[in-house]
Structure 1
């Protein structure tokens, strides 16, 4: 029997908050209501109704809208203007609009969305790019989380916090407001479907929400696995995250890149290995090539190499279900963590009654296809207090982080809330069997 590892669970639960909202485009059907091509679209009719208002009535209506919504969003009038610009096709039969009319029309084509009303889960953690002012022995971090709202649409949200020398975790207060980014690259002008996004630098990181922006992502940006990628000397830090884009019918893996968590680039991954969930990038090249852990057959974990960060093919199966807690399937729980002893790969396994648990494997430093040791028993499994939620009997993480001699492990409980635990590396390695 393997030696039991001591997992120190903290009581720092991050729960979904339905009061956090963003505004999203609302677009009624723009096709004629019947086969008569002279019929106006619903969008045209809404514009007509706004234009029919007396100027004083329009002013009062806009004032009422602002009174109800302005405290819930930044720069609401500018948001209305931007939405009106996007709806220019609805203005075709019209000519001149007053500022109030444009702003009202923009308001009519938006709706609020409570992006984390249902769940806040599947966290991933990396060191913050700015460590200035951090006490000695502590570390500031960025935590990414999968947020789920109405219709089970997933988006990406963030928190920041501080890890104390002893592994204690503090989370900074969440911003009251939430905002989606500006899309810098027109979707139609990007042949590889890549998109560039940016937020205002004066927004707190917890205010920044990356909501689906492409058709391939329309039903969700799921399970981002962040890693600080080792770049060439003197280059600025790069943070990469692999995630699943879900259209409602199909999935594919995509890559998110940022240096500051203000500007982001999202790019689809191509190749036979990218048509699956759960890819996780190694934090540096191995023998001059990019390396990835993925699952291509819904059961086993593969090691994949590539000369191109955006194209992934083939792969070698290196971990298959072996112990009862993982008989149904295995998956990775984030990017491998480099230790002196090898690459520490956190894994998840699915056992009886589809109970999810978290384990680990140790891969050879020079040749990660060699599995040196793995968990006979899970490191983290659902406690009795962690079994009830949106999806019962699940603990899950999208990535831990080394802090001195500890692994800081944020993890989700029942696909609903998130918590933290710490594991001493020396104790963890002792539990792994060769």
Structure 2
């Protein structure tokens, strides 16, 4: 393909700006750093006169019940956490129970610092739409106090002319019900421990006492039995216990209320390996050989020191299953799954070395062992590094892959390449110039001079690109697919 009239396709920026709202808050457990202070706080609450406690609780409910859908349930859940610190034989009144729960609860503004790195996929419900319209779900990385990131969602409709109509955003934000008792398979669990350097005689001892399919509670119980009657040096045992518990806690399920709006749902860090944030979810609608659809997303779990690539699976954006990705090729950020198998195998883009675009294939979506480089930095605007900007998009000409490149002054631009449909390790065309570069209105933010996306879609022959602006806000751009392809060079 040779350029026809212009070297660079015309990109249209929408006037829409997706901005974080500091009033969108969730509740979180609030414990002092020194646990011995919990007893002191509880004693102070219990020493309050009944009338003072009632008045304080009434004021607390007046201040906060309108900001959360069931604040009383939150207080009850949090008082259960600190019950071991109560004086022996203490019987709490309803007011004391709620007040203790309130003292160990805090609000967290999930979007107060930034709302960026979006991806967009078709909504699972496409009913009752005008012909040529598409209902969508957009995921975004929300960042709040302490720069802790979570995943939030927006929904809306694209009309036949690619105009956006976003659904109204709820005033409430829901943290989901957490299920920390999924079923694990013994062999994959052992393989992951081996990769983590914890596949020793202690872990083998524990796993050999578990069934092939075991639960979280069974694992913790078996660890507890060995802790009670040690058979190995205790220091070694404790290291293995910690690693096995850490791995198990990295796999969990969350469920939201099905009758609540998409914008009320937030996937907030729950496991230790993601304690400092859930970063850059790349959602894709994946179809198997029978045409059944499942939504997957890769994301980066961060604990302040190390990253761990994770996989989200959902059918409906109500129930989510989160598991670790495994294998020698699971090393870095920015993994993007193809929306279907190729040659009978799963395919995924990745950036193994922090510099080049890689591709990898696997028979099992959870295990990835090998990768190969398909693209190295070539142009000045990508000399530092390149990577993908979301999952590939299928056209009859090939797979369109949006890329990001980093150039002088750490300026991030977005480009595009075209991969062969059946041999996607082969680049058949590319743009020589950036498709999208930060303009004067987009270059100021938490990380200046950056445009970035985690996933686009094609609708009515237009490439719809939600993108982040300097790691603080998000916008939307569109480009005609045929024009984009015609501007690529072979």
**Under a length normalisation based on structure 1, what TM-score does the superposition of the two structures give?**
0.95
On the 8 A contact 1:382/1:394 being kept in 2, the answer is yes
Q: Is the 8 A contact 2:393 2:400 kept in 1?
A: yes
Could you tell me which residue of structure 1 aligns to residue 12 of structure 2? 8
The alpha-carbon deviation at position 73 of structure 1 amounts to 0.7
DSSP 3-state at the match of 1:271: coil
Q: Distance in 1 between matches of 2:89 and 2:414?
A: 60
Change (3 A) 1:232 1:61: farther
Structure 2, unpaired ranges of 5+: 183-215, 220-246
Aligned to 1:394: 450
Shift of 1:431: 1.5
Matched residue, 2:328: 272
Q: Quote the Cα distance in structure 2 between the aligned partners of 1:385 and 1:94.
A: 62
C-alpha change, 1:92 and 1:311, in structure 2 (3 Å) is farther
CA separation in 2, counterparts of 1:234 and 1:357? Answer: 35
Partner of 2:370: 314
The answer to whether the 8 A contact 2:358-2:374 is kept is yes
Report the equivalent of 2:257: 200
- Asked if the contact 2:288/2:341 (under 8 Å) is kept, the reply is no
| Mapped partners of 1:3, 1:430: distance in 2 | 9
In 2: Cα distance, 1:244 partner to 1:93 partner? 43
**Partners of 1:93 and 1:29 in 2: how far apart?**
23
| Greater Cα offset, 197-206 or 92-101 | 92-101
Q: Residues of 1 paired with 2:416 and 2:373: CA distance?
A: 16
1:353-399 Cα offsets, whole Å, 9 max, x none, are 11111111111111111110111001111112211122111100000
Distance 1:93 1:139 in 2: 60
Match of 1:326 in 2: 382
Deviations 1:116-173 (A, max 9, x none): 1111000000000011111110101000000111111101100001111111112111
Given that 2:123 and 2:137 are in contact with CA atoms closer than 8 Å, whether structure 1 keeps it comes out as yes
- Partner residue of 1:63 out of 47, 58, 65: 58
Query: 3-state SS of the aligned residue for 2:65?
Result: helix
Tell me: CA distance 1:324–1:234, structure 2 relative to 1, closer, same or farther (3 Å): closer
Structure 2 distance, partners of 1:139, 1:308, is 31
Residue aligning to 2:290: 233
For residues 289 and 179 of structure 2, what CA distance do their matches in structure 1 show?
27
User: In the alignment, is residue 421 of structure 1 matched against residue 472 of structure 2?
Assistant: no
1:179 aligns with 2:235: no
- Residues 140-219 of structure 1: matches in 2 within 5 Å? 140-186=135-181, 189=217, 192=248, 193-219=250-276
Structure 2 counterpart SS, 1:288 = coil
Question: CA offset at residue 30 of structure 1?
Answer: 5.0
Deviation of the 1:92 alpha carbon: 6.0
Question: d(CA) in 1 for partners of 2:287 and 2:478?
Answer: 24
Residue from 110, 115, 122 that aligns with 1:115: 110
CA distance in 1 between counterparts of 2:255 and 2:339 reads: 24
Tell me by how many angstroms 1:86 deviates.
Answer: 2.4
d(CA) in 1 for partners of 2:60, 2:89: 24
* Equivalences for residues 305-384 of structure 1 within 5 A: 305-384=361-440
Secondary structure of 1:383's aligned partner: coil
Q: Partner residue of 1:35?
A: none
Distance in 1, matches of 2:15 and 2:89, equals 58
Displacement of 1:404 in angstroms is: 2.2
Aligned pair in 2 of structure 1 residues 92, 296: CA closer, same or farther (>3 Å)?
farther
Contact 1:162 1:170 in 2 (8 A): yes
Post-superposition CA distance 1:286-305 (Å, at most 9, x none): 11111110001110011111
Q: Tell me the equivalent position of 1:25.
A: 29
- In the TM superposition, residue 211 of structure 1 has moved relative to its aligned partner by 0.7
Q: Which has the higher helix share?
A: 2
The structure 2 residue matched to 1:284, chosen from 340, 345, 350, is 340
For residues 432 and 336 of structure 1, what CA distance do their matches in structure 2 show?
16
CA deviation string 1:225-248 (max 9, x = no partner): 00001034374x311100010001
Higher mean C-alpha displacement, 92-101 vs 238-247: 92-101
Question: Tell me, what secondary structure is at the counterpart of 1:125?
Answer: strand
TM-score (norm 2): 0.84
Q: Which structure 1 residue ranges, 5 or more long, are not aligned?
A: 32-40
Counterpart of 2:85 (choices 78, 87, 90) is 90
* Structure 2 SS opposite 1:10: strand
Q: Is the 8 A contact 1:29 1:43 kept in 2?
A: no
Deviating more after overlay: 45-54 vs 3-12: 45-54
Task: Tell me: higher relative CO, structure 1 or 2? Use CA pairs within 8 A at least 6 residues apart.
Answer: 2
Which residue of 2 is the match for residue 298 of structure 1?
354
C-alpha separation in 1, matches of 2:424 and 2:455: 18
Q: Which secondary structure does the structure 1 equivalent of 2:161 belong to?
A: coil
SS at match of 1:4: coil
The CA distance in 2 between the partners of 1:51 and 1:309, in whole Å, is 53
Give aligned pairs, total.
Answer: 424
